[in-house]
Amino acid sequence: MTDLPATAKSTTAIYALAIVYAIVIGFSFMFTKLALRHADPFDMLAYRFALSFAALAIPVRAGWIRMPRRQKGRPRLPLLLVSLVYPTAFFGFQSVGLDAATTSGAGIFSATSPIFALLLGALLLKERASKLQLLSVLVSAFGLVFMTGISADALRGTSAVGGGLILLSAVALALYGVLARGLRTSYSAVELSYAMMRTGCYFFVGLALVRHLTQGTMSALLAPAAEPGFWLPLLYIAIMSSLVSSWLSNFALSRIEAFKVSLFVNLGNLVSISSGVLIMGDDWSGAQTIGTICMLAGVIGANYRGGKRKTAESVEPSSSGIQVGAPGRGVGKEILDGNKSADSSAEPSPEVSSGNKRVVSGV
């Protein structure tokens, strides 16, 4: 059998990583529900990002993970802006919004993230999508809406404020994808992840400390740490759902468009529902089958390259002119080194739990 061209191999690896990303964030719903048995949403976020930042900062400081040398004159403001949008704004909007919205209602509003990513990508990055890709995004969004909102009272219990905040979280996730993609030639995936975990840690730990100090409830903040059942789900959502998933998404955003990565986040909802059926014993309905077909069709359609078109030509090249699969650089090496990834072909819709409405997305 003839070997695939280097570009095709690299592109295949990127989509494989995107699928891993969807699986990781899909299972995070279940672990987030387990963690919330022991801590409220904002305290859980403080623990989550403190642990995820420590898990990245320690090996970086020890030299086990190589960071590109800081160049003089290179602005740091873009990194701060991205990390304020995600995870700070995203989880802030979502955590408050879920208290005023049902899980089904949140699912309906969060399904719009790929649409926002498509619009923002066209506006800010001048990325153009084909008619098939536009249709695929709408089909995927419809699949998630249909899956979560099939019941007549899907929006009952969701206030205008709650729905608006969930919608803002979807916009924040889409904006993060577009901003991170716009920085793909200036910062590596590990630099973006480091900034995101650091900002998330400082913001949510600071918020938790201020809240409990002013209320005189520091013992409540420390109580979850004494619960053995809290640490396993915390380790998953901190290491896998936060650190590893951010690394995967930032690397994928350096190669494929933001709206495509958002579709893989929607796919994570499918993984979450499937894990609930297989592990938690949840029911599987006809609506979920239809929604699954629509989401899979949307992902396949958005990433369809056409019969004999060359892989590298499927999407307009970036201004940097760097091609996927550039000689001497493999996908695995770029991830481990933290070097700036090469740009290429095409691109976190928030995750919505299938259970308690206080569950915070595991994106």
| Tens-digit pLDDT profile for residues 79-94 | 999 999 999 999 989 8
- In which residue are the tokens 């420390």 written? 222
Helices (H) and strands (E) in the chain, counts: 15, 0
The tokens describing 113, both together, are 């993230």
Quote the mean pLDDT of the chain. 78
DSSP for 230-268?
HHHHHHIIIIIIIIIHHHHHHHHHTTS-HHHHHHHHHHH
288 or 5, which is more confident? 288
The tokens describing 19, both together, are 């699928």
Question: For the chain, what percent of residues have pLDDT higher than 90?
Answer: 33
Q: What is the pLDDT of residue 275?
A: 73
pLDDT beyond 60 at 258: yes
Alpha-carbon span 68 to 188, nearest angstrom: 8
pLDDT class for 323, splitting at 50, 70, 90? very low
Q: What is the pLDDT of residue 96?
A: 84
Q: What is the pLDDT of residue 54?
A: 96
Domain borders along the chain are 6-337
pLDDT beyond 90 at 74: no
Q: What is the pLDDT of residue 1?
A: 40
78 or 328, which is more confident? 78
pTM for the full predicted model: 0.76
| Tens-digit pLDDT profile for residues 41-67 | 999 999 999 999 999 999 999 989 888
